[in-house]
Structure formats: C-alpha cells, structure tokens
C-alpha cells in the first residue's frame, strides 16, 4: 500500500535537507510541493535542489513547466496524484512550503478545472478589489464568507470560475481524502532564529549567482514575466533597473521573506494533524526517523 510522509513548514526551516537525509535512509523519493520549483530555469531564487542533490535522491514535480505557462493547483494535484499512484516506492515524501499544493493531496481537495482567462481577468481587475468583492457577495455569498475582503487573488479566482462555468466556486469545492496512510511532519523554530536562517540563505543565493540568474531571465523572457515579480526576483530586478542598491535588494528580500514565512506559519499551524518538530534540534533527524518508523510499523 502507498504511504505518504509530508514534510512542511515555513521557508528556510530546513525541509529540503531533512527530506534528503530521510529519503536516503528510507530508500525513497521526493515529490516537491513548491509552487515556483515547478518552473524551469528559476533555480537559485527558488532554492531548488541542486543537480548533485537530485542525483542522490530522485526528485519529482520539479522543472515540469515553462516559465511562460501557468501551473494551477488543479494541474499540480493531477500530476502529483498520478505519481503517487504509479511510483513503485513507499513511503513517498511530499516536501515543500506551498500549503495549497499539500492540502490538495492530503485532503483531496476538489478543484475547479478552470484555466486562467487573461482577458476575463483583465476586465475584472479594472473594477478594483472593493467592487469585485461586492460582486462576489452577490454571485457566491458562501465563497465570500470564506474570502477576506482584501484578498484580491482568491476574489478574482472565485469570480473567474463563476463567469466561466456559470456555477459558484463553492459548488465546485469539497474534499475526497485519499485512502492511504499519511504522516504530516512540520518544521518550526523561534522566529528570531528563522530570520537569521532567512538572512543567511538569501546572502548565499546572492553569492551563488542570483543576480546573473535574474538578469538572464529578464533578457530571455522580458522583465514583465509574472514569475519575475515574485519573492527574491522582484527585488533583484529593481536592483538591475537601477532603482535600488544591491544591499537594499538584499534587505528587502529578507524582509519580504520574513513576511512570507509568517503567513506560511499561520497557514500550517491551522491544521491539527501536522506533528511539529524543532528545526534547530541537533537530534532532529533521529527524532523524525523514530516517528517515521513508528508510523510505518503501525500502518
């Protein structure tokens, strides 16, 4: 029977390193649950596993999409579920910090298969968030109760699904949990220590060539590419445009990453089935290994 071990948590908590060590001990493989690592050529700024790391353990759901394409949660779920069903290894490790990706698998979210419609989105965005939310309250009050009035991404998506399908997004949604055993492991640490981890990793990204990576991507795809407006890339893009210094770009990247990590922690701590471990514990691998063996024995 398929068994799944999830390793999740905020960015820079050491999920990839722990997963690599655990996968090697288990003779397992890693399924990435990172919404930017699915895109080819976005490597350093997404903290994508290196070529050497991918040789040590097989990684899936990395580099599966062109930067000019859009990988929806439904697309990810479909590919991840197909891999879980077909890869002849157990347990499998699902590793990452994209909460929706993980939730789509462990809870079996029913996701509307509606591709993004650029023209419709452009028309809707012209109204502004306040009016869009009012529209959502009218066409799908159930969804509106679950979406914050200041959340433009989910508001726009809910309206998009409604206008494409003629049905509220709330009628498309639901859950169909998988029937295989799942162990969910979360990594956490003191927020001050996490800030230091973020700063160290960001500095390493600069040393590893993040500026050159962003410059190459801007030249190849144009600075307006949506992925270049994401964490780390946007700040370096501002530096390359002469708007800020490299030191300022580094400072802003650390700040924005801290804010992102805080939102990730809020997301994951809302799910009681996640078992939390201290990322700074020197015996972390041993503790997780013992819990993993217990899980595999019981299941």
pLDDT at 156: 87
As a whole-number percent, the residues of the chain with pLDDT over 70 amount to: 98
pLDDT band at 74 (very low <50, low <70, confident <90, very high): confident
Q: Are 183 and 295 in contact (CB under 8 A)?
A: yes
Lowest mean pLDDT, pick from 57-61, 175-179, 241-245: 175-179
pLDDT at 98: 92
User: What letter does residue 213 receive in the DSSP assignment?
Assistant: H
Delimiting residues of CATH 1.10.20.140 domain(s) in the chain = 118-172
Q: How far apart are the first and last CA of the chain?
A: 9
Tokens of 211: 């500026």
pLDDT at 173: 67
User: What letter does residue 49 receive in the DSSP assignment?
Assistant: P
How far is residue 254's CA from residue 252's CA, in Å, rounded to a whole number? Answer: 5
pLDDT at 268: 93
Whether the bond into 91 is cis, omega within 30 of 0: yes
Mean pLDDT score across all residues of the chain:
93
Binding positions for substrate are 11-16
State pLDDT tens for residues 24-44: 999 999 999 999 999 999 999
Inter-CA distances, 94 with 15, 44, 71, 155, 190, Å: 10, 21, 18, 29, 24
Binding positions are 9-16
CATH class of 118-172: mainly alpha
Q: Are 61 and 80 in contact (CB under 8 A)?
A: yes
CATH class of 4-109+176-298: alpha beta
* CA proximity to 74, closest of 37, 25, 108, 30: 108
Delimiting residues of CATH 3.40.50.300 domain(s) in the chain = 4-109+176-298
pLDDT band at 169 (very low <50, low <70, confident <90, very high): confident
State pLDDT tens for residues 95-112: 999 998 999 999 988 776
Residue found under tokens 């502004």: 128
Binding positions for ATP are 9-16
């Amino acid at each position: 029977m398929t068994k799944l071990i999830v390793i999740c948590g905020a960015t820079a908590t050491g999920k990839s390193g722990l997963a690599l060590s655990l996968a090697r001990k288990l003779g397992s493989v890693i399924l990435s649950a990172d919404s930017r690592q699915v895109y080819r050529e976005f490597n350093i700024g997404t903290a994508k596993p290196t070529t050497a790391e991918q040789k040590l353990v097989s990684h899936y759901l990395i580099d599966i999409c062109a930067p000019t394409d859009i990988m929806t949660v439904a697309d990810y779920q479909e590919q991840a579920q197909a891999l879980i069903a077909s890869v002849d290894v157990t347990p499998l490790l699902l590793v990452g910090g994209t909460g929706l990706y993980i939730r789509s698998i462990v809870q079996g979210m029913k996701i509307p298969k509606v591709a993004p419609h650029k023209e419709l989105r452009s028309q809707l965005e012209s109204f502004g968030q306040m009016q869009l939310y009012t529209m959502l309250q009218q066409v799908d009050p159930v969804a509106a109760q679950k979406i914050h009035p200041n959340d433009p991404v989910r508001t726009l998506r809910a309206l998009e699904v409604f206008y494409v399908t003629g049905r509220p997004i709330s009628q498309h949604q639901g859950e169909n949990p998988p029937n295989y055993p799942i162990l969910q492991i979360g990594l956490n640490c003191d927020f001050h220590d996490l800030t230091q981890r973020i700063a160290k990793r960001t500095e390493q990204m600069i040393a590893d060539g993040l500026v050159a990576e962003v410059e190459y991507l801007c030249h190849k795809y144009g600075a307006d590419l949506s992925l270049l407006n994401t964490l780390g890339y946007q700040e370096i893009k501002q530096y390359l445009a002469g708007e800020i210094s490299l030191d300022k770009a580094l400072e802003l990247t650390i700040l924005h990453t801290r804010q992102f990590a805080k939102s990730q922690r809020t997301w994951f701590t809302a799910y009681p089935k996640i078992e939390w471990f201290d990322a700074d514990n020197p015996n972390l691998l041993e503790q997780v290994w013992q819990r993993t063996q217990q899980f595999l024995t019981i299941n």
